[in-house]
Chains A and B, each alone.
Chain A
Amino acid sequence: MSAPGVTLAGTARFGGTALFEDVRLSLAAGQWTCLLGPSGCGKSTLLRLIAGLETGAAFAGEIAASDGRPVAGRVAYMAQDDLLMPWLDVAGNVALGARLRGEAEDAGRRDALIARLGLADHAHKRPGALSGGQRQRVALARTLMEERPVVLLDEPFSALDARTRVDMQELAAETLAGRTVLLVTHDPAEAARMGDAVWLMEGGALYAVPVPGSPAIRPVSDPETLRFGADLLTRLRAA
């Protein structure tokens, strides 16, 4: 699986007002791009446009992959809500995509992924019996099961407690390595930690922010990362 880069360029309008105008966002192939912005700035709309989901906004422009093939059908999606089917157990949820495509169930790979995310003991539990962190791990396992080269993450860790969030960030960085990832977040510390590239969205415009020299994912206590996170927060507040 070689992941393509993805570029979105254009304008989105909500009724008469522009949500963002003439923006250009490029996701480097095989890297983590973080899109940071206050709530309601349109960052989720941007992600949903790439995902091919309905946004309620009219978009004029183009979304293209660097290898010239269509983006649709090659994206996986994780949201703040874990999007698990409450009536399926963990294994059923992880294998949902394969089942919908009518593929023969690859039980070996499914169980390996479940074990890799530390859910082996919970494989036959329903989501209702799991904690928030465990549910997000199931969602991650399902995303990984999909083998999609482009992964869109819409604040997937923001509902987790601090420790679980940091653990999940590391797990996601490790397991999604090599894929083109867009992480939409409102948490400057998360963007500072996770981003190979960081974009700030404010007032309907996008700004690329220079990132520290050390490679993502950066340690929680790294002074340069902390500094970077604080800078991002300052810029967010100034906006």
Chain B
Amino acid sequence: MSIAEDARHVPDGNAPPAQIDAEEARRARTRRIERIARWTLPALVMVLAIWGWHRVVTVNEIPHYILPGPGLVWESLVNDRAMLMDAAWLTFRITFMALILAVLGGAGLAILFNQSRMLEMSFYPYAVILQVTPVVAIAPLIFIYVESKIAGMLICAWIVAFFPVLSSTTLGLNSVDHNLRDLFKIYRASRWQRLVHLQLPSALPYFLGGLRIAGGLSLIGAVVAELVAGTGGIGSGLAFRIQEAGYRLNIARMFAALSLVAAMGVFIFAALSLVSHLLLRKWHESAVKRET
């Protein structure tokens, strides 16, 4: 150890242990390169893909109603921005509300199921049935019985999104270290205290894992619901715009709206990852930085 420290303090000393120095320098260099590559490589791939797309379209003289070039899509993004932003805002609102409901419903049901075995046995199978039945197949029925388009879309998105929260929170609540349970027993903690002070914190990492999946799924649910709901006064979100532009052979706008949907998905995932990191960084294995 003292050799390594000497090497750090006197890099140009008389007899520097060159081997350790070189090894350390090499490792630092690898880390630096990796840090830069993490951002530049995906960006480079995107630039290449867009350039390739552009070349394919111009070289083959593909008409814009079949495949517009990236320039046209960008133009559509800029020219139709007012309409697209309105649509994006609506889709985002539905997605966000559905996610909130999925969290409340999923985590709430998980806690109820955890507290009562009878409840779990009675209702868990139906949660599974709701999850495995494709939402596209349920949605038309929902829109028959639910007046409000917004409510219908929320229900669709919720059905898709609540299950990952439910199942991962359930798993978390049940995977409390049994030694810690013993300790709480010795402390004569009540059922409620065990839930609040032991089970919920233990389940938090699992819940956050489910939340990240639910974020993406609620966007999918919102998009599917819009497609099924179709035109209905207020029902003009991004998915509806894609459909509408398709009917008009405005392929560039389809791509523009699609890119906004994708960007929204990435944004939701990044935001939820950040939330997860902030909540866990102090203590959970997944977020704590290791020295070595």
Contacts and interface: CB of A to CB of B under 8 A. Distances in A.
Given A53-B182, A79-B179, A126-B283, A85 B201 contact: yes
B187 A97 contact: yes
Contacts of A86: 283-284
A100 B284 contact: no
The SS class assigned to the A binding surface is mixed
Interface string A87-120: 1000000001101110000000000000000000
Contacts of A87: 201, 204, 282-284
B282 A100 contact: no
B275 interface: no
A143 B283 CA distance: 22
B183 interface: yes
A77 B282 contact: no
Contacts of B185: 52-53
- The number of chain B residues touching the other chain, given as a range, is 20 to 34
B197 interface: yes
Contacts of A76: 186
Contacts of A81: 177, 179
Contacts of A79: 179, 182
A83 interface: yes
B74 to A, nearest CB: 47
Interface in A43-82: 48, 51-53, 73, 75-77, 79, 81
Contact of B197 (A48, A51, A100, A127): A100
A215 interface: no
A128 interface: yes
A51 B186 CA distance: 7
A126 B179 CA distance: 19
B128 interface: no
A85 to B, nearest CB: 7
B189 interface: yes
A118 to B, nearest CB: 22
Interface in B156-191: 177, 179-180, 182-189
A53 B186 contact: yes
B180 A85 contact: yes
7 contacts: A76-B186, A79-B179, A83-B180, A85-B198, A85-B201, A127-B283, A128-B283
A152 to B, nearest CB: 9
Contacts of B285: 128
Given A79-B179, A83-B183, A85-B198, A126 B282 contact: yes
A183 B126 CA distance: 50
Cβ-closest 6 pairs across A and B: A126-B283, A86-B283, A87-B201, A83-B183, A87-B283, A77-B186
B25 interface: no
Nearest to B189: A100
Interface string B280-292: 0011110010000
Contacts of A99: 197
B75 to A, nearest CB: 51
B193 interface: yes
Given A85-B180, A87-B284, A96-B187, 20 more contacts: A52-B185, A52-B186, A53-B186, A73-B188, A76-B186, A77-B182, A77-B183, A77-B186, A79-B179, A81-B177, A81-B179, A83-B179, A83-B182, A85-B201, A86-B284, A87-B204, A96-B197, A97-B187, A100-B184, A100-B197
